Amino acid sequence: MIQRKMTRPIHIGPVQIGGGAPVSVQSMTNTKTTDTKSTVAQIRALQAAGCDIVRLAVPDMDAAKNLGNIIQSVTVPLVADIHFDYRLALEAIRQGIQGLRLNPGNIGGEERVKAVVREAKAAGIPIRIGVNAGSLDKRILAKNGGQITPEALVESAMQHVRILEAQDFYDMKISLKAHDVPLTIAAYRLMSQTVDYPLHLGITEAGTVKSGIIKSAVGMGALLAEGIGDTFRVSLTGDPVVEVRVANEILKSLGLRDYGPTMISCPTCGRTSIDLAAIADQVEERMRSIKEPIHVAVMGCVVNGPGEARGADVGIAGGCGEGLVFRKGEIIRKVPEDQLVPELFKEIDAILEERKANESK
């Protein structure tokens, strides 16, 4: 079992981060925040995919002033992404935003920081400090020999932390992002030893779906397996809904979340006599509408498929023009190949109905 580091708790709306709460999944819209209809639609799609918190870009005052229209149309907590202009943070708070992402060191002088902190305190809004390897202070880089090091990332973050702490503000979380996986892992390890604030994990600019999933799973998976990290985002080029699906799969693979279906499917081999890849894709696509946790197996061999997938709640194993449907490794019936998927989902529906009936007793 993974022993998670106990960090101090903060809340973004109803979602607790840190303090032993489940690791939360975040993503970010790629729509224009001034476009209420498109942004609301994407937020709802992210939430349906299992996203706990959604961040929105707030590049100007028009975007900040439209946040209220978006907030009243969704139920998932929202975070405003602010850079440089403290007035955008103040307007976001007035509009009812549940969290801020900003660096106090780049929004102006002490009075501007005080103004944001004062309003954030009054509204009970936490602030995420986000340090990026691509934008480190030149003085910190020079101090570290011109190199982007874990120590440089942590020092940069701590500069911002101290600004907020000087204002008696402790309702914060921290992120240290880089596209370099070993650097990111080392930086988060060091930060975890330095503070007890909750940490937001991320491998920034991870790339496209193909390469980005691998980098994200390796980097954040390693940290989560060590108990480091309270919330995270998988950053991929493309549809943010895919980010959420990948994030949930990372958590499920580590036993940190029991959300939606988990599919078990075997690699193809010389014994496979059905189009296993096509069947597995079909099953995976149909399972996306299922929110309840259930383990489903798609196996390519009737000889040992049910036995290998005994831990699955339900599954199918293909043969030559036919296949087996089984529950917990016990064969229920044999069906023609073209009926394998329909019969599988008949059993999935039955299991979910049985669970509901038992819960209502």
CATH code, domain carrying 150: 3.20.20.20
User: Residue 168 has what pLDDT?
Assistant: 93
Task: Classify residue 5: in a domain, yes or no.
Answer: no
User: Residue 84 has what pLDDT?
Assistant: 84
Task: Classify residue 1: in a domain, yes or no.
Answer: no
User: Residue 43 has what pLDDT?
Assistant: 98
Whether residues 246 and 312 fall in one domain? no
Q: Would you call 74 helix, strand, or coil by DSSP?
A: coil
Contact yes or no for 279/318 (Cβ under 8 A): yes
Whether residues 76 and 194 fall in one domain? yes
Task: Retrieve residue 84's tokens.
Answer: 């440089």
Of the candidates 15, 39, 17, 14, the one whose C-alpha atom is nearest the C-alpha of residue 28 is 39
Task: Classify residue 2: in a domain, yes or no.
Answer: no
| Longest CA span, the chain | 75
C-alpha dist (Å) from residue 248 to 97, 254, 322: 25, 10, 33
Positive or negative: CA dihedral 160, 162, 163, 167: positive
Whether residues 109 and 229 fall in one domain? yes
Whether residues 187 and 267 fall in one domain? no
Residue where one domain finishes, among candidates 192, 226, 253: 253
Whether residues 161 and 217 fall in one domain? yes
Whether residues 104 and 143 fall in one domain? yes
Whether residues 299 and 248 fall in one domain? no
User: Residue 240 has what pLDDT?
Assistant: 93
* CA–CA separation, 282 and 279 (whole Å): 5
Gyration radius of the chain over CA positions: 23
Contact yes or no for 259/251 (Cβ under 8 A): yes
Whether residues 286 and 221 fall in one domain? no
Residue where one domain finishes, among candidates 253, 286, 314: 253
| Region for 145 from its dihedrals, namely left if φ exceeds 0, alpha if ψ lies in -120 to 50, beta otherwise | left
Whether residues 177 and 95 fall in one domain? yes
Task: Classify residue 183: in a domain, yes or no.
Answer: yes
User: Residue 304 has what pLDDT?
Assistant: 64
pLDDT, the chain, mean = 90
C-alpha dist (Å) from residue 310 to 3, 169, 212, 322, 353: 28, 52, 32, 20, 21
Task: Classify residue 220: in a domain, yes or no.
Answer: yes
* CA–CA separation, 98 and 12 (whole Å): 6
Whether residues 80 and 184 fall in one domain? yes
Residue where one domain finishes, among candidates 202, 221, 253: 253
Task: Classify residue 3: in a domain, yes or no.
Answer: no
Secondary structure of the chain: what % helix, strand, coil (to 5)? Answer: 45, 20, 35
pLDDT in tens, 169-206: 999 999 998 889 999 999 999 999 999 999 999 987 76
pLDDT tens, residue order, the chain (361 aa): 889 999 999 999 999 999 999 999 999 999 999 999 999 999 999 999 999 999 999 999 999 999 999 999 999 999 999 988 999 999 999 999 999 998 877 777 788 888 999 999 999 999 999 888 777 778 888 887 888 899 999 998 998 899 899 999 999 999 998 889 999 999 999 999 999 999 999 987 767 788 889 999 999 999 999 999 999 999 998 899 999 999 999 999 999 988 888 888 887 777 677 788 888 899 989 998 888 889 999 988 766 677 777 888 999 888 778 888 999 888 898 989 889 999 999 999 999 999 888 887 7
Number of domains into which the chain is organized: 2
Task: Classify residue 19: in a domain, yes or no.
Answer: yes
Contact yes or no for 130/104 (Cβ under 8 A): no
Whether residues 320 and 234 fall in one domain? no
Q: What is the CATH number of the domain that holds 282?
A: 3.30.413.10
Q: What is the pTM of this model?
A: 0.88
Task: Classify residue 310: in a domain, yes or no.
Answer: yes
* CA–CA separation, 200 and 192 (whole Å): 11
Q: Give the domain extent around 73.
A: 10-253
Q: Which amino acid is at 253?
A: S
Whether residues 93 and 24 fall in one domain? yes
User: Residue 98 has what pLDDT?
Assistant: 97
